[in-house]
Amino acid sequence: MKIAFFHARGYERPSLEAENTRHGHQISWFEATLAPETAALAAGHDAVCIFVNDICNAEAIATLADCGVRLILCRSAGYNQVDLAAARAHGLTVMRVPGYSPESVAEHTVGLILSLVRQLHHQHNRVRDGNYALDGLVGFKLHQKTAGIFGTGRVGRAVARILNGFGCRLLGYDIGENDEMRALGMTYASRETLLSESDIVILTLPLTPETHHLIDAESLALIKPGAVLVNTGRGALVDTRAAIDSLMARDGLGYLGLDVYEEEAGKFFEDMSAQIVPDETLLLLTNLRNALVTPHSAFLTRESLAEIATATLENATAFEAGQPDPDRVVA
């Protein structure tokens, strides 16, 4: 099978090339993001492989179909970047990686929490500048704090297991309750209860029409003053402007940690250090002392990259053999 990999980065290629020795697919690498303007690059390929910030909308899909593409491979668990209705209308199959190294994302999530509440990033900057004073660095411990987790899928459960080790009380919110989490001591609660009782609120949900701006001004008004909010799910789960307003309010959020940002497309995964980033909201966010942003890197471990490569190319091989895994087919 001929596969066009879009938005391919150097850190991904070794894992994909190593895995492809088992499959023998013909791979073309494109640094460009998939978009309506670049979709024609896929001409002569049977499949395209895309990442989270590619733009696989109806216009792009129409071009892909005209180019003879039959399969869209998402090398991610999320697939909100794909217009599924358009894919179905053009007869294209869409497959995803259902989950990869949830512990990697969970550990990054807890890393953000610890960095914020113990101000590790500020401590590092001070020491680097020769400032060893402790004023303004007082944090709080996680032991016996309440952690509320929106989404108890694989990542959410991994976060819960780690925070249980810190001695946190666990609250959960999801469309279905998980037996493992209940056995761990998690109490499932309403959205309002979770927000109002949690010292730490964690988002590990997928983005759907129902979860878009799950955390908005109304939700933030329910959160405990001084609470921590961390999002390692999808950027648009949080209304960023509302979160900034809460961070700047006297009785609002205490800390905000984001590995994802609702306007990250065209910025995250790119080196913009030699220019002014054309995003006033992001610039304000990254200059707030009580906010910490990482560039959609929670997944970025050797183990995750290997698992993504394995699942992605297994999907291509299974499709080519006419036996795609129904649990990985989303259109």
Per residue, what are the HEC states of 190-207? CHHHHHHHCCEEEECCCC
Query: Averaged over 24-30, what is the pLDDT?
Result: 98
Domain 2-100+301-320: homologous superfamily in CATH: NAD(P)-binding Rossmann-like Domain (3.40.50.720)
Looking at the predicted structure, is the pLDDT value of residue 331 above 80? yes
The whole-angstrom separation of Cα 156 and Cα 153 is 5
The whole-angstrom separation of Cα 266 and Cα 299 is 19
Looking at the predicted structure, is the pLDDT value of residue 6 above 90? yes
pLDDT at 64 (0 to 100): 98
Query: Averaged over 198-226, what is the pLDDT?
Result: 97
The whole-angstrom separation of Cα 198 and Cα 185 is 15
3-state secondary structure of 301: coil
Domain 102-293 has CATH 3.40.50.720: yes
Across all residues in the chain, what is the average pLDDT? 97
Return the active site residues: 234, 264, 296
Joined together, the tokens standing for residue 200 give: 């730490």
Question: Could you give the residue range(s) of every CATH 3.40.50.720 domain in the chain?
Answer: 2-100+301-320, 102-293
The half-sphere exposure of 188 on its side-chain side, counting CA atoms within 13 A, is: 15
Going by C-alpha positions, the residue among 202, 226, 225 that lies closest to residue 215 is: 202
301 contacts: CB under 8 Å, gap ≥ 6: 101, 104
